[in-house]
Homo-oligomer: A and B are copies of this chain.
Amino acid sequence: MLEKRIRLKHLLDKVTDPDTACRHIQNGTNVFISGFTAGYPKLIPQALVRRAKDGDRFKINLFAGASTGDAVDGILAEAGLIAWRRPYMSNRGMREKINRGEIRFKDDHLSRLSAQVRDGGLGKAHVAVVEAIAITEKGHLIPSMSVGNTPTYVQEAEKIIIEISSEPPELEGIHDIFIPEDPPYRMPIPIYRSGDRIGKPSIEMDPNKVVAILYSREEDSCAVFNEPGTVSQRIAEHILDFVAHEIRHDRMPPALPWQSGVGDVANAVLSGFIDNDFFQNIDIYSEVLQDAVLDLIDLGKVRAASGSAMTLSHKARNRFFNEIYRYRDKIVLRPVEISNSPEVVRRLGVIAINTAIEVDIYGQVNSTHVMGSQLMNGIGGSGDFIRNGALSFIVTPSTAKGGKISAIVPMVSHVDHSEHSVDVVVTEHGLVDTRPLTPRQVAEQVIKRCAHPNYRDLLWDYYQQAIRASGGHEPHILSEAFSFHERFMATGDMQVR
């Protein structure tokens, strides 16, 4: 059946098996794969692991759109097959190896990576391995559930391996593929509204570069979705109330599009729209689209939803595949350099909502490094949206690890986003709009409204001491700035016993 998906017939000659195909990948090969939380190749990673188990010793440099599933990052890391990994990952096993220095990793702003690949900054694109639902008559590719950097990878690669996926062919038409010219010859990216289509439904490809085609019946390992917990719901409520209030008081226009990071809170915000009559005709200009987007489409509440990938739970996935025709008109999947484009994000005036590991009293944000040193996932697209959105929320539950960690700290142990780029800080306890405040006013408000009650006094003491000891525009006592973290590392609890 999958043969039909290869509409450029002479490419049928390239159909082969994974073990044969993966011989194009050797020690030191730069492998550029499709995939952005979904839509990654699954057969080639398995074949590489088999080869390693059979005694072949090699390491590859692996570049994707963003994170992939256990089926790629997990098994390849475990087998010790990765030398370099960019630009983002979220796999536990891989993370451990990165933190031990066994895998080289650099996290990049996702919007920049394609251009860096085109200018050769990541080395030669030896082999692209991409999942696609079809190859067109002209030999172009129809990607699956994500676009990510695939258009650039396919354009730049010396060799291309394709995994034809059994996902519904009706996905065709959902993608909008556009590779901008690079500076100094770039023209405006002509997106004026979230749903605008500016490119083609397929990825242009030189069929002569195809070295192998595989048929795949493997599924993306589905995101596990919990119903939003109370903490996430509270955070979502604070955000929706605040935005509604700003719009009602004419401090912002209605109809700005929404971006919402990955994870529970992100999904909770969108779910919050379901029972909220104030917000209608919602535009979404985001990175990854999750289950809640389908619910909102079902309710007729979405004008357009743009992203670079869809990550759905198993249930939502079935629903989506069964009735793609209903969703396809509303959803656009774009290259990540477009979904996250600073130009477009700034132009559209995106309301950006992203999750932090910790935030400090002045609104500096740590998205990536636990206790300053241990990488969690990476910065991903958070900087693309936080820095350029019209209104930028940073959210976090007020505590982690059962209350033993305060997510509001005197000074964050690593900074990814500076106070200048963050507009509103939100936890389940409350929200502070930092825009009209001095850093000192921000500190007072964040301690009062966002911190967990168990940590308010400790934070207040630090802040008062800092004013006395150092003064300044943003009072800090450098010898005490990480006292919360040090206490946690010494005793397992940020609270004083």
Contact = CB atoms under 8 A, between A and B. Distances in A.
A366 B364 CA distance: 13
Nearest to A441: B104
A341 B184 CA distance: 16
Interface in A222-241: none
A342 B388 contact: yes
Contacts of A479: 482, 486
Given A183-B347, A343-B346, 20 more contacts: A99-B473, A106-B436, A121-B435, A183-B256, A183-B390, A184-B253, A184-B256, A342-B342, A343-B343, A369-B474, A372-B481, A373-B470, A373-B472, A373-B476, A374-B471, A375-B472, A413-B476, A413-B478, A478-B489, A481-B482
Given A104-B438, A121-B435, A255-B184, A375 B482 contact: no
A100 interface: yes
Contacts of A379: 418, 420
A119 interface: yes
A107 B420 contact: yes
Contacts of A15: none
B413 A415 contact: no
Interface in A392-421: 411, 413-418, 420-421
Contacts of A188: 188-190, 192, 343, 347
5 contacts: A183-B349, A188-B190, A373-B473, A383-B418, A417-B418
A251 interface: yes
B251 A120 contact: yes
Interface residues of A, number: 85
Nearest to A84: B438
A109 B420 contact: yes
Contact of A418 (B184, B416, B476): B416
Contacts of A346: 341-343
B478 A482 contact: yes
A343 B372 CA distance: 32
Could you say which of A99, A115, A473 has the most chain B C-beta atoms within 10 Å of its C-beta? A473
B438 A471 contact: no
A374 B472 contact: yes
A348 interface: yes
A467 to B, nearest CB: 8
Contacts of A489: 478
A2 interface: no
A372 to B, nearest CB: 4
A472 B342 contact: no
A291 B470 CA distance: 38
A347 B489 CA distance: 45
B349 A343 contact: no
